[in-house]
Structure 1
Amino acid sequence: MRLDDFDPNINVEDQRGQGGGGLGGFGGGGGGMLFGLLPLVMSRFGCGGVVVLLIVMAVFGGLGGLGGLGGGGGHTNAPSEQSASHGTDTKSSCTLDAGSKVACNAFSSADKTWAAIFQQSGQQFSQPKLVFYSGNGQSGCGAAQSAMGPFYCPEDRGIYLDTSFFDELANRFGAKGDFAQDYVIAHEFGHHIQNLLGTSDKVAQAERQGSKTEGNRMSVRLELQADCFAGVWAAHNRDRLDPDDVQEGMTAAQAIGDDTLQKQSQGRVVPDSFTHGTSAQRQHWLKTGLDSGDPAQCDTFSGDI
C-alpha cells in the first residue's frame, strides 16, 4: 500500500528503551477483556499464567477492549530490536525503523480518513495516540506486554504496538506484505472508533452482565466490527492500494482467526472460547468494509455473523 506521508502532527508516544513498564496504571476495562486474555495466557503460559492474570485483573482493572490480533498462539517474547533506542519526537519515533514508519503511515491515514467520515456524518471525532514500546510498556489500562499483541486501551485512547509483532505476523502467521501490517493498525483504530461511538461501553456492560460464553460472543462481534472498520478505511484509500494488497489482507485475516490459531496451539477448536472470530468471519467482515466503504454496513451486532 502506497503510504509514505504520515502527518507530523499525529499523537505519538515512544516508550522504547525505557526499561519496561511494570504493572502500573489503573484503568477500568470491560469484563470481556478477561475472557479474551484467558485463552491467550493459557496457551502461552499455562495455568500459572492464568492465576497471575486473575490477580492482575483484580488489582489493576485490566486492559479495556483488547483488540490484539495475535490472541492464541505460542509467541516467544524475544527482546525487540528497538529496546535500546527510542524517538524523542514524532518524526524520530516514526522513522526509527521500517516497522515504525509503516505504523505511523497507517495510523496517520486512518486518522485522516475517520476524521473525514465523522465530519460528513456530523459526529465529533477526537484523535487517539500511537504508543510504541519494546517488550514491556505501560498503558492507561495496565501493563503492555509484547505477548499480548497490538491492542487499544480505551482509558487513554492509545493504540499500543511493539513493532516486533510485524515480524511475527510475517514469519509465524505467514501474513507478509505491507498491507497486512497496515491492517493491524487499522483494526486497532477501529476499536478507537467503537470507543468514540459508545459501542465498546455497551459491549463491556453486556459482558459483565452475562456468562463467560456470552462475553466471548460479544467480544467476537466487537472484533469483527473492528475488522470491518479496517476495510472501510482501506476502501476510502483505494487509490493507494497495490494489486496484491487485498489478498495480503485476506491472508492476514485467515491466519489470525480463532479456529486457525486454536488448531495450531492446541490441536482442536473450541467455539465457545472464541474471542475474535473464525478465519472465515474475519475475512468476510474485512471484505464487507472493503467492498462497501460504509461504516453502516459494519453492524456485526444484528443477526448472524
Structure 2
Amino acid sequence: MRLEGGRESQNVEDRRGRGMGGRGRGRGGMVVGGGLGTVVLLVLALLFGVDPGVIMSGGGPMPQAPAPSAVERGAPPADDAGGRFASRVLAETEDVWNPIFQSLGRRYQEPVLVLYSGAVQSACGVAQAQVGPFYCPGDSKVYIDLDFMADLQRKVGASGDFAAAYIIAHEVGHHVQNQLGVLQRVEALKRQASQAEANSLQVRVELQADCLAGLWARRAHEARQILERGDIEEGLNAAAAVGDDRLQRQARGYVVPESFTHGSSAQRARWFRAGLESGRLESCDTFAPERL
C-alpha cells in the first residue's frame, strides 16, 4: 500500500503498556466481531490454545471516564511503524466515509481506534487480545492489539499490509453500520429469532462489513492511488482466510454450517469483491438477497 506521507488520524487512543485503564462511556453493549473478530471466538481460542471463558467478560455498565489527554489521543510515536500504519489507514477511512455520509445528508461521527496490549476495558466489557480486533457500539471504538493481530494474521495465513488494512476497514464498516442504524435493527430482530436465525442475521452483518471494506478500498484508491500490485489479492485472501468454514476446519477438522456467524470463505471474498468492484453502498445490501 502507498500510505507513506499520508495523513494520520487524530482519532487514535494509545493504551499500550497501561493495563486495562477504563475508558468506557458507562454503557453496556454487544461486541461486534470483525475481520478476525469475536463471534469466531471459540474457533480462535482452539487455534491458540486459549480458554474461551477468559477472553471476553463483562458487558455491564462501565464507570464514566475522563476524555483521553492529548498524549493518549493522537498519532503514535515516530518509531512506531505499526501504530502509524493503523493511524494512516484510519485516516483513509475517514476521508472516504465523511463525503459518503455528506452525500446522504448525514454527518459521519468518526470512530476512535484504541491500540492496546494484552487486555482492554471497553463499554462492552473486558476483552483479552485473543478475541481479535473488535468494534464496540457502546463507545463507538475499534479495539486492536497490533502484536496479536500480526500473530493472528500469520496463524490464519492472511499476511500483507493490505490484509491488515482490510481488517481495520472491516471494523470501521461495523461503525458505519452502527451510524446507519443497521446494528440496532439487527439486534432487535435477533431478540425475536431462534439461534439459527440469529446466526444467519449475524452472517449478513459481517458480510456487509466485508463489502463496506471493499467499497472503502475502491474509493480510497480512486482518490489517492493507495493500492499497489498484489494488494487486492491480499484483501481477497484475508477475507477468505477468516471464513467460518476454513476456521472451523482448522480448529475442529469439520464444518458446522448452521453455526456460521461470519460467512464462508467464498461468501466473504465475494462480498469484499462486490464492494471493491462497485464502490457503491447499494451493492452492499446483504439483507436483500435470499442466498448469500
TM-score relative to the length of structure 2: 0.85
**Which amino acid in structure 2 is aligned with residue 16 of structure 1?**
R
Change (3 A) 1:61 1:272: farther
**Which amino acid in structure 1 is aligned with residue 91 of structure 2?**
S
Aligned-pair distance for 1:163?
0.2
Q: Does 1:177 align with 2:160?
A: yes
Q: Does 1:142 align with 2:125?
A: yes
Q: Does 1:202 align with 2:197?
A: no
Distance, in Å, in 2 between the alignment partners of 1:90 and 1:104 is 9
Aligned-pair distance for 1:272?
1.0
Q: Does 1:260 align with 2:257?
A: no
Distance, in Å, in 2 between the alignment partners of 1:155 and 1:237 is 28
Q: Does 1:127 align with 2:110?
A: yes
Aligned-pair distance for 1:122?
1.5
Distance, in Å, in 2 between the alignment partners of 1:19 and 1:216 is 33
**Which amino acid in structure 2 is aligned with residue 282 of structure 1?**
R
Distance, in Å, in 1 between the alignment partners of 2:128 and 2:55 is 12
In structure 2, what is the equivalent of residue 39 of structure 1?
42
Distance, in Å, in 1 between the alignment partners of 2:18 and 2:50 is 30
Q: For the Cα contact (< 8 Å) 1:118–1:124, is it kept in 2? A: yes
Distance, in Å, in 2 between the alignment partners of 1:21 and 1:187 is 25
In structure 2, what is the equivalent of residue 4 of structure 1?
4
Name the SS of the counterpart of 1:144 in structure 2: strand
Q: Does 1:60 align with 2:65?
A: no
Q: 1:289 aligns with which of 275, 283, 286?
A: 275
In structure 2, what is the equivalent of residue 300 of structure 1?
286
In structure 2, what is the equivalent of residue 115 of structure 1?
98
Distance, in Å, in 2 between the alignment partners of 1:49 and 1:30 is 17
Change (3 A) 1:210 1:125: same
Change (3 A) 1:9 1:153: same
Distance, in Å, in 2 between the alignment partners of 1:10 and 1:116 is 18
Q: Does 1:192 align with 2:175?
A: yes
Aligned-pair distance for 1:96?
5.0
In structure 2, what is the equivalent of residue 90 of structure 1?
74
Distance, in Å, in 2 between the alignment partners of 1:294 and 1:44 is 36
In structure 1, what is the equivalent of residue 20 of structure 2?
20
Q: For the Cα contact (< 8 Å) 1:94–1:104, is it kept in 2? A: no
Aligned-pair distance for 1:172?
1.1
- Identity %, equivalent residues: 44
Name the SS of the counterpart of 1:125 in structure 2: coil
In structure 2, what is the equivalent of residue 273 of structure 1?
259
Distance, in Å, in 2 between the alignment partners of 1:16 and 1:53 is 18
In structure 1, what is the equivalent of residue 65 of structure 2?
none
Change (3 A) 1:41 1:207: farther
Aligned-pair distance for 1:144?
2.6
In structure 2, what is the equivalent of residue 101 of structure 1?
84
Distance, in Å, in 2 between the alignment partners of 1:154 and 1:5 is 31
**Which amino acid in structure 1 is aligned with residue 74 of structure 2?**
T
Q: 1:251 aligns with which of 219, 237, 248?
A: 237
Change (3 A) 1:246 1:31: closer
In structure 1, what is the equivalent of residue 29 of structure 2?
29
Distance, in Å, in 1 between the alignment partners of 2:48 and 2:189 is 28
**Which amino acid in structure 1 is aligned with residue 3 of structure 2?**
L
Aligned-pair distance for 1:38?
6.0
**Which amino acid in structure 2 is aligned with residue 2 of structure 1?**
R
Q: For the Cα contact (< 8 Å) 2:43–2:248, is it kept in 1? A: no
In structure 1, what is the equivalent of residue 67 of structure 2?
none
Change (3 A) 1:202 1:180: same
Q: 1:215 aligns with which of 183, 187, 198?
A: 198
Distance, in Å, in 1 between the alignment partners of 2:136 and 2:171 is 9
Aligned-pair distance for 1:6?
5.0
Change (3 A) 1:30 1:166: closer
Distance, in Å, in 1 between the alignment partners of 2:202 and 2:77 is 31
